[in-house]
Amino acid sequence: MKKIFLFSFLILICIIVKSQQYRTSPEYVNMNFNTNLDPLIKYVISERNNNLTRNRDYLIALSDWIKELKSKTDEEEFINSMNKFSNAIREIYFMDLSNINTNDLKIIEIKISESINRYNNRLNEKKAKITEYYKGIELYEASNFYNALYCFNNTVSNFTDFIGGYLYKGLTLYFLNRESEAILCFDKALDIDNKNENAYFYNGMCHSNLGSYEKAITNFNKAILLNPLNEDAYYYRAISYTNLKNEESAISDYKKALELNPNNADIYNNLSWIKFEKKDYSGALVLIKKAVQIDPNNSNAWDSKGEINFNLGKYQECILDCEKSLQLDPKTSNSYLIKGRAFFKLGKKKEACASWQKAKELGDTKVLDFISKFCK
């Protein structure tokens, strides 16, 4: 009976030991050498351990390299290729690396280098194309709009989702008085980014120039919603309100613009004109004086001041104001018209007719009645 018990115990021990072999981690562990082992066996074990460490260190270095490469770009194609390499390295890392020669793993490094070369080629190609975009900006800033448009056409053709190309193309078309085409560009920019303040603003400018003041106001509203400090959006929205005869909203916007920039002479000029149209010439004069005080080189403000003084019966001052306007901008035909009327009121018919003739030469049709009546 004791022999049977002892035999059963030995079998149980064997089973437990055998089962423990499958409980250990599949990870490799450094082996402790038995000093009595044969030197050749010790060498083999040492080489396996060295190979394991060397291969793991190499794979870790590759992983770190991939992380660094990914941090330097946002190109989806390149990042996806690097992710594939990372996944492959992760799988290889848990294989039996002790039997793999490190040189065999270097195929991964070669493939990564090939991906980098392909990325650099794509990048250089894009740089060559984007160079034309920057050339277009230079031409645009030099007011060479036709050649700038050529560059921006190529830009949006090469980069269909590049918002900058559409914005500059739209601006170029705007300055070429091709507002309807410009609107299409700004709409495309908004398809790419529906929170682009500039696209809404310039869209509003185009609609305003086309006389679509309600559409202009809608776009200026969105620009202001995105940037409540956009002084220009308030200013041009006020102009649209003025054209719609909504003077209360116009004045409110002009005042808001003045809060943002108290030294905007054009705002005082426009506010003075609202009073002028209400025949409040004295109130208009106060505001226009503020405009020329802020900006003495504003020809429009001097022209407005001349017309206000004319309606106040201050003819000599009117003439001086108009001459100041013409000194700043000799093509201000309205100044010639008003100056002529002031001369006529002072009994200087010859000077009046000479001034009206200048206005006619500049294409002012309002002056034709004065010439036909008083300059025979």
Rg of the chain over all Cα atoms, to the nearest angstrom: 41
pLDDT tier, 38 (very low <50, low <70, confident <90, very high otherwise): low
The predicted pLDDT at position 193 comes to 96
Cα dihedral 363, 368, 372, 375 sign: negative
Residue keyed to tokens 């291969």: 55
Q: What is the mean pLDDT of residues 330-341?
A: 97
Could you tell me which residue, 139 or 73, shows the higher pLDDT?
Answer: 139
pLDDT tier, 62 (very low <50, low <70, confident <90, very high otherwise): confident
Residue 24 has pLDDT above 50, yes or no: no
Alpha-carbon distance of 42 to 46, in angstroms, equals 6
| 254, burial (CB in 10 Å: exposed 0-12, middle 13-18, buried 19+) | buried
The predicted pLDDT at position 46 comes to 57
CA distances to 9, 18, 59, 121, 318 from 5, in Å: 6, 20, 53, 78, 131
Residue 227 has pLDDT above 90, yes or no: yes
How does pLDDT run across 346-370, given as a tens digit for each residue? 999 999 999 999 999 999 999 999 9
Least confident range of 16-20, 57-61, 272-276: 16-20
Q: What is the mean pLDDT of residues 62-77?
A: 87
Angle of helix 163-175 relative to helix 102-141, nearest 10 degrees?
10
The mean pLDDT value of the chain amounts to: 86
The predicted pLDDT at position 125 comes to 75
Could you tell me which residue, 175 or 2, shows the higher pLDDT?
Answer: 175
Could you tell me which residue, 102 or 317, shows the higher pLDDT?
Answer: 317
The closest alpha carbon to 251, from 262, 239, 266, belongs to: 239
Residue 152 has pLDDT above 50, yes or no: yes
Give the pTM: 0.68
How does pLDDT run across 183-203, given as a tens digit for each residue? 999 999 999 999 999 999 999
Alpha-carbon distance of 164 to 159, in angstroms, equals 10
Structure-block tokens of residue 26: 């599949």
Q: What is the mean pLDDT of residues 312-324?
A: 97
